[in-house]
Structure formats: C-alpha cells, structure tokens
Amino acid sequence: MDSVHDDNQVTLQANLADADAVPAQCRRVTPSDPCAIIIFGASGDLTARKILPALYKLYCNNSLPRSFVILGAARSMLTREAFIDKMKEALTGAADPDMERWKTFAESLYYHQIDYTDEESYAALAATLKGLDRKHGTGGNRLLYLAVPPFLYQTIVTAAGRAGLSHEPDCRSCWSRIIVEKPFGSNLETSRSLDNSLHEWFTENQIYRIDHYLAKETVQNILVFRFANAIFEPVWNRQFIEYVDICASETLGVEHRAGYYEQAGVLRDMFQNHMMQLLALIAMEPPARFESEMVRDEKAKLFKSLRSVAMKNLDDHLVLAQYGVGSINGKKVPGYRSEPGVDPQSFTPTYACMKLFIDNWRWEGVPFYLTSGKRLAQKTTRIEVQFKEVPHAVFQNVFTEGINANRLTFSIQPEEKIALTFQAKNPVSASCLRSINMEFSYEGDKDHMFEAYEKVLLDCMNGDQMLFLRQDSEELCWEFLTPLIEDCETCINREKTLKTYGAGTPGPLEAERLKARL
C-alpha cells in the first residue's frame, strides 16, 4: 500500500497493478465453459459502443472461454464480412489498438439476418447455431443478449423460446442464459408482464437483468467497505448518521435517444434501477454470506422497508425539473424541448431530487436524498454519508469556528475513491481547526480494472448473478415508484410539478430547498 501526504490530505493507493500483490484466488476468473453469444440487435448502437468492445477487450486479456462464437442477429441485410467490418470500425480506441488479435477474434464472429416476428427466422438461427457448435466446439451453451429496443423483448423471448434457444433439448448439462437491458417495463404492470413472458421460457436463474452501475468498481466496493471492516458498521445507523446523499449528475443531454427518453424520463431511466441499487448497497443489512441469493435477499428486504410517499405531501419529497438552454464547458447548448426528436411542449423530467425514508430499526428518521439529472454542471456519481455533529461542544471556548461533522464519500465516477473527512487542529494557530481528508483511490489500478460491460458479460458466462437484478426487487422498486410517476404524469399535475433549470447549472433551486428542510 502506498501513501501520499500533503497538508490536508492522506491518500492511500492500493497497488494492485503489481501482479505479485494480487493473490492467485483474486485474479480474473476465465469462464471454463465454451459458449455461443447471440446478440439480438447486433447492428445497433449498444452492440457497437459497448458489447463488442467489451468482448474484444476480454478476448485480448485472455478472459473469454477457450472456445466461443459471437453470432450477431439483426434485421439489417448484412453479409458476414460487412458485419465484421462494421464491428472492426466500432473498435477504434479499444484495447489492442494495432488490432493484432483482431484477425483471430473475427474468426469467431458471425452474422444472421433475422425477422424478429417470423418464427422460421429463429428456427434458421437455431440451425446455424448447431452448425457453429460443431465447428467451434461451443458445446451447446448459449448466452442470448437482448440489445434491441424494449418493445421487441417479449416478441424475441417468446420466439427464441419456441425455437428451443432457452434450453438445449439434446444436452442435459448445457446452459442457456439471457441478458436483458433496462428498462424492464415502464411501470409495475408492464414489468410483471415482461417477467411473465421471460418466465414462460426461462427460469429466474437463467435471467440476467443488467444494471451497469453495479459493475462499477467503487460500487462493488461499498459492501466490502461496510462488511469487511469492523469500525464502520457500529456507526452505520440513525444514531450516528444525519443523512445520506446519493447523486448521479451528468453533463450530457438526451443525445440521440429522445424516442426512448421522452417516454422514460429521469425516474424510469435512472431511479428505478441505478439509484435504487446504490441506495440498497448503502442501506441494506449484512447478508449471512457473500452469495448472490443472500445479497439479493437483503436488497429485497430493504426495498420492502421503503416508506411510501404520501401523494398529498409530494412537494416535500420530490422535485422534478427539465433543462433549459445554457452552456456546458463554455459551449452553448439547447434546452431539452429543442433537442432533436423531443416534443416542443414536452413535460418529461430530466432531473429529479427525491427525499425518502426507510422504515426499519437501523434507519428510522434518517433522510436519504437521491438526485440525478442531465445537463448539470458536472459529470459525477457519488454517495455521501453525513455523520452527526459531536454531541457536546467541548472546544467552544477555544476554537472560533464550528466543528464540521465527519463525512464519508464514495466517489464512483469520474474519480473512483473513498474519502473520510475529519477534524484536526491547525498547527499554526491556537484557535483554528481544519478538515482533513483521508482518501483511498483506485487511480493507479485503472488499467487493470474491468469496464462495467466486461464485468457483466464475464459474470454471466460464469453463471454469477450477484450483480444482476432479481425479479422481486425489480417489482418492489416499481411498486415504490409507479404511484409517484403516475401522479406526476397526470395532465393536471405535470405542468405544476415540473421546474426548469439552466443547462450547466447545479440544478433547480427547489432541490436545494428540499435538502435544506432536514
């Protein structure tokens, strides 16, 4: 462990870059089973930006199974060669910039043109897969990835199930898993309906609902920090913690996703998944063991303890807003309503600040603030745990200023670090204090860390569901949020509820007010 000092800061940096420092059991687990990865939506944006680069990086790091095949399926009429060229283009800037290994990687890349509504198309896909199994020795194991617009999920799941892709009839030991991207429905009812379709063909342990926030390194570190250190848990409760503030702010606007975002808005896009998951990790009880079902049981328990928001007091719990014109990094940017594809009268919120409470023994009375928005002043995701002030002002006759309470911050991005502030006496002055930051940073380890999509793909190939969302939690989060969303979306309320904020600002003033009303 290296430590760096300056006057007000102590930084601890684990040097995981040194391979000798990483015990063998902590190194990456290369999936042992061969498999075929079938990407539905292979000619789309998600495949090019995230999935294929992640698979290629895994390949370059020898983290893919010895035998694998990637079969892209999409509506576009593409030859295999054209698909390979398209994927190669998408990799500019990925690992192995010289693409030395690209040639061998591309030998495992295939393309199948599909009509999503035609069952024969899936039968042809299943036959192609069988041929590829024989050629590449992928053993009948299937990883299906739904990288398509959500309205196609149910159609694909049902047709793929009918074509036998949810299990391999001739092989008892083969597995088939399906990765589903959010949104998992748009409210409680539609999420249940999606789950029903999935469960018609896949059991829950075959379903991998992605939340890429859970695969971020500092997010994974939250449970380790809480439960592998004896000194934090005793103070992790209402007696010592004043409030918890979880914030995910972005500088980007809606970009080219207006079609989806207009329907979703910030509550479905960021809260139902990422924000709720961060909340669960910070607030859940310790699981008996660090096993996927046990961890997910504790999360579900936490979601069951969320206090429903009384609609008549909604203003005391929720601020919704939409960005107007402004500037980001000195560049003028349009307001949300002028973005391409957005209704000029849109009431879709791009920002939300929510105050919620957890009704259980540990957290009774402690406010949790969840904030997320687009086109804000900074791109940052962090969780602040604000401790209470000291119970008695022992130094009131000595120090002129008040004493800041301790604060623990998990910075998730762009920096990946954990910082604790505490007070110390200023050595040059008899009557002054200063806040010191003690920091742990992953800065030196970046090259050795998995990107979120690499991690989720690897975990799915290894059959590890720890970082994936389970159906019960999904439904519990929808149960909590659906009444709020519906209330805000009614015609009478939506105009009244929606505030505005200038792009590039910290957000609407109403949010500051909400937080000030402790």
Nearer to ligand BG6, 109 or 412 (CB): 412
Helix, strand, coil share of the chain (percent; to 5): 40, 25, 35
* Shortest CB 250 distance to ligand BG6, Å: 5
SS3 94: coil
The residues binding ligand BG6 (CB under 6 A) are 248, 250, 269, 381
* Shortest CB 334 distance to ligand BG6, Å: 17
Nearer to ligand BG6, 119 or 343 (CB): 343
Q: Is residue 251 packed enough to be buried (19+ CB in 10 Å), middle (13-18) or exposed (0-12)?
A: middle
Nearest Cα to Cα of residue 511 among 340, 343, 377: 377
* Shortest CB 345 distance to ligand BG6, Å: 22
Q: Is the peptide bond before 508 cis (omega within 30 degrees of 0)?
A: no
Distances (CA, A) of 428 to 58, 244, 251, 431, 438: 53, 34, 40, 9, 21
* Shortest CB 502 distance to ligand BG6, Å: 19
DSSP of 103-161:
HHHHTTEEEEE--TT-HHHHHHHHHHHHHHHHHHT-TT-EEEEE-S-GGGHHHHHHHHH
* Shortest CB 442 distance to ligand BG6, Å: 16
Nearer to ligand BG6, 108 or 273 (CB): 273
180-191: burial string, b at 16+ Cβ within 10 Å, e else: bbbbbbbbbebb
Q: Which two tokens stand for residue 52?
A: 């294929």
* Shortest CB 69 distance to ligand BG6, Å: 28
Out of 5, 199, 256, 274, pick the active-site residue. 274
- The yes-or-no answer on residue 274 being catalytic is yes
Nearer to ligand BG6, 250 or 445 (CB): 250
How far apart CA 511 and CA 320 sit, in angstroms, is: 9
* DSSP E strand stretches across 348-459: 351-356, 368-373, 380-387, 407-413, 417-425, 433-441
Nearest Cα to Cα of residue 473 among 297, 307, 354: 297
CB atoms within 10 A of CB 378: 12
Nearer to ligand BG6, 148 or 433 (CB): 148
Identify whether the C-beta of residue 302 lies closer than 8 Å to the C-beta of residue 283. yes
Nearer to ligand BG6, 166 or 187 (CB): 187
* Shortest CB 406 distance to ligand BG6, Å: 27
Nearer to ligand BG6, 66 or 446 (CB): 446
* Position of minimal CB gap to ligand BG6: 269
What residues are labeled active site?
Answer: 274
